[in-house]
Amino acid sequence: MIFRGIGFADDELRIFYHSVGKTVILRLAGKRSWSEIFRIEEQCQWPVIRKIDDPKLPIYKGADRALLERFIETINEEKSLRCRKAYLDKVRYWTRLQAVIEERIELFTQIFGFSEGDIRHCELVAARYSKMVDGRSARKKKLWTIGIGTGAATLAGAAAWYLYKKEKK
């Protein structure tokens, strides 16, 4: 574990490491999963990330300087963005936050040494997830169509009954 000795609880680190893999998979799954990525980043990653913005920390000894600078820059950019959240319109805030998180997800794959096999595994899981979400969406759409069709048929039946009763009088 890379962050041992910095003062993090084991549970906090375990949740953090698990969330890194999950965000890589969700990013590969596409646009519809960004709300979940934002939630994971806020709850699982940000509590750890915001505490490791000092490049002098012992966890960074021997780290690739360019990679380290990019990583620290994403942390500082997110801190600044979170401080200015109240002053930014929602679209600008979420767009910038997405860009920062997206860059950090790519850095995570380099920092944690994702191999080609790991990336392929994440791609397969993301494809299964996308297929599952697409199927769920198609079923919802079908149910709405059936519901609207049933409602229209009921309404037409009620109108026909009313006209029939009206003509009988």
CA 99/CA 35 separation, integer angstroms: 14
CA 71/CA 73 separation, integer angstroms: 5
Supply the pLDDT for residue 27.
87
Supply the pLDDT for residue 95.
93
CA 23/CA 37 separation, integer angstroms: 6
Supply the pLDDT for residue 61.
78
Supply the pLDDT for residue 1.
46
CB environment 98-125: b (16+ within 10 A), e (fewer): eebbeebbebbbebeebeeeeeeebeeb
Q: Mean pLDDT in each 10-residue stretch from start to end of the chain (169 residues)?
A: 69 87 86 86 91 81 84 93 93 93 87 79 82 69 62 67 70
Supply the pLDDT for residue 59.
76
- Helix, strand, coil percentages in the chain from 3-state DSSP, rounded to 5: 80, 0, 20
